[in-house]
Amino acid sequence: MNPPGNLNPEQQMRNALDSAFAQFPDNTATIEALLPLVSRTMRRQVTARQLEILMNRNPTAYRQNNAGRWSLVDSVYAPPLQEEPETLKEDYRQHQAQLSHIVDQVKPGSYVVFDLETMGDWNGPGQPSDIQLLQVAAQRYVNYQPTGEPFVCFARPSVPIPARITHLTNIHMEDVMGADDAYKVLTKFFTYVADFPLIAHNGAMFDGPVLHTIATRIEYKLPAKCLILDTLPLARALLPLGLPSPIDGVPLENYRLTTLARFYGCEELGAHRADVDISMLGNVIKGLLGELAMLIDDSTQLLHRNPAAYFILKLLHKTADPWFVLCNGSKEQSKEDVDLAE
């Protein structure tokens, strides 16, 4: 049966893609496995590039894991809101006030880059999960430069590490047998973090919600002023797919951390180990800030500058986004009104 004629080509392909995902366990598959099913439904040959672009355009619907497999993100049911409009407005005002208070603590150039290695099933924020910590790594930055020793800590899981996780992360049972449990690891981690904001790649959909899920399960109380920024949407906003690398001219193929590190010439051996990933992410952040015309040191002058940097900064400014405070001047300036039309 032909795809419905009242849908545009992208909507038709999304419907075909969602149907293809449904044929696989946990709605998870490689692009190569999805291609023939999508092509059959569309009644034409669909390319891997087309599917990758489509899924990268819709990050709330599709997610790629560190092994390169894609998943259809399950929608999270939200019950109808029963509160009166005025109550909702007051809740929103309180939320904004709390967020503003947290953002007020942010200092330009001061943050902690972090990464988690985990095992177990993860179906997205708000979904049932048995995910467990294996490793937490972090590096504190002051004035955009790494400061002090990194935090690197294994966590002892409650069950053996699956072979596929060991293959992906190179973390073995011998590494974690004598490690602390997750509660002690999180206590040490947030002591290291102190009041710095956290930055992770895919932090909004993975690292942040995973921390919350695990903390809830083990009854660990996360700090009230825990602010997590995500480099993934920033990279998507600044770097269109196909953009030539400023290092070797190779077009950007996707937004995985290793791909972005290769794009900026900072890829390292041993990816998918948290201690290696935070080193790469720290340099990717430097590259992304360079896109916004932030010259952190001499090396950023060699990297690419987004031609729309001026307007993107204004948008971050206008929306009081914490990224603006983190990568730009004073907090006082970020509170001013900005005319996006000028």
DSSP string, 113-140: EEEEEEES----TTS----EEEEEEEEE
In this structure, how many other beta carbons lie within 10 angstroms of the beta carbon of residue 116?
A: 23
Listed residues 178, 202, 231: the one ending a domain: 231
For residues 125 and 220, state if they share a domain: yes
Residue-wise pLDDT for 121-179, tens only, equals: 887 777 888 999 999 999 999 989 999 999 999 999 999 999 999 988 889 999 999 99
Predicted confidence (pLDDT) per residue in 67-122, tens digit: 677 888 754 333 344 444 555 556 556 555 555 655 666 788 899 999 999 999 88
Same domain, 148 and 223: yes
Question: Among residues 122, 292, 117, which one has the least CA distance to residue 205?
Answer: 122
Condensed to tens digits (0 to 9), the pLDDT of residues 201-250 reads 999 889 999 999 999 999 999 998 888 999 998 998 889 889 999 899 99
- Residue 264 pLDDT greater than 70, yes or no: yes
Indicate whether 309 pLDDT > 90: no
**What local confidence, expressed as pLDDT, does residue 244 receive?**
92
Provide the residue range defining the domain that includes 58.
9-72
Top-ranked range on mean pLDDT: pick from 44-58, 101-115, 184-198 = 184-198
pLDDT tens digits, one per residue of 313-327: 788 777 777 888 777
Same domain as 129, residue 67: no
How many domains does the chain fold into? Answer: 2
| Ordered alpha helix ranges (H), the chain | 9-21, 31-42, 48-57, 85-104, 163-169, 173-176, 182-193, 208-218, 231-238, 257-263, 274-291, 309-318, 322-327, 331-334
Q: Are residues 120 and 36 in the same domain?
A: no
pLDDT at 265: 92
CATH for 177 = 3.30.420.10
pLDDT value of residue 133: 96
Nearest alpha carbon to residue 316 among 324, 308, 306: 324
pTM of the model: 0.71
**In-domain check, residue 168:** yes
Q: Coil, strand or helix: which one is 167?
A: helix
- Is the model's pLDDT at 7 over the cut of 80? no
pLDDT at 259 exceeding the cut of 90: yes
pLDDT given at position 32: 86
CATH code, domain carrying 54 = 1.10.10
Residue 107: what pLDDT? 82
Looking at the domain assignment, is residue 81 inside a domain?
Answer: no
Dihedral in degrees, nearest 10, Cα atoms 164, 169, 175, 180? -100
**Pair (117, 199) in one structural domain:** yes
- 99 and 226 co-located in one domain: yes
Are 99 and 19 part of one and the same domain? no
- Measured CA to CA, the distance from residue 69 to residue 73 in angstroms comes to 13
CB atoms within 10 A of CB 338: 16
Is residue 177, in this structure, part of any structural domain at all?
yes
Q: Tell me: do 222 and 148 sit in the same domain.
A: yes
Residue 132 shares a structural domain with residue 200:
yes
